[in-house]
Amino acid sequence: QQYCYPSVFIYGHRSSGKSHVTNILMEELELPHATVSCVECVSAALLFEQVLLSFFGCDAASLLPRSPSLSDFVRIYRQQSSQFPAEQTRYIIMEKTELLRDADANLLPALLRLQELVEDNVTVILLSEIVWETFRPNTGCFEPLLLHFPDYSKDELKQVLSKNKHPSYSAEFYS
């Protein structure tokens, strides 16, 4: 079985389309994915629970102990993925990952090599507003594939706005 790249880091300014494009891609291609907001998941426990819930259902998420460690998550993920093998790559989409810099120092390096830890075809996609060089942990870690979403030019922004124009406004309004 051929595995996908273990981690992808997508960065760009706010409202550049990172989340939208990633989510539309997952839905259109019907790829198994879990979307986790680092704003909402304020602890590693919530992150682990959300991933298990998305991929394996509430029974798997209920197997987590009250204060789960990374090794608890890896153990349960391995059990569940062996019981319910994926036919294709599973994707974990982490939004606002710049907030992970304030989390446990081992969490980000573990997410970057999650594929190796859980022995499953899983790719972690990290969405951020800051560049990787600023984000990279000092401890050294697996380097993700980098993808940049540039800012829209003025003409591109006009095109986007005019495609969703309100019928009561003329095309000149958007130019």
Following CA atoms 25, 96, 6, 134 in sequence, which dihedral angle do they give, to the nearest 10 degrees? 130
Q: Which domains does the chain have, with CATH numbers?
A: 7-150 (3.40.50.300)
- Strands ordered across the beta sheet of 145-148: 33-37, 90-95, 122-128, 7-11, 145-148
What is the H or E stretch that residue 76 is in?
A: helix 70-83
Mean pLDDT, the chain, whole residue set: 87
Give the span between the Cα atoms of 144 and 141, in whole angstroms.
Answer: 9
Residue 87 CA to residue 17 CA, distance in Å, equals 28
Mean pLDDT, residues 109-121 taken together: 92
**pLDDT tens-place string over residues 37-67:** 999 888 888 999 999 999 999 888 888 888 8
Whether pLDDT at 70 is above 70: yes
pLDDT surpassing 90 at residue 146: yes
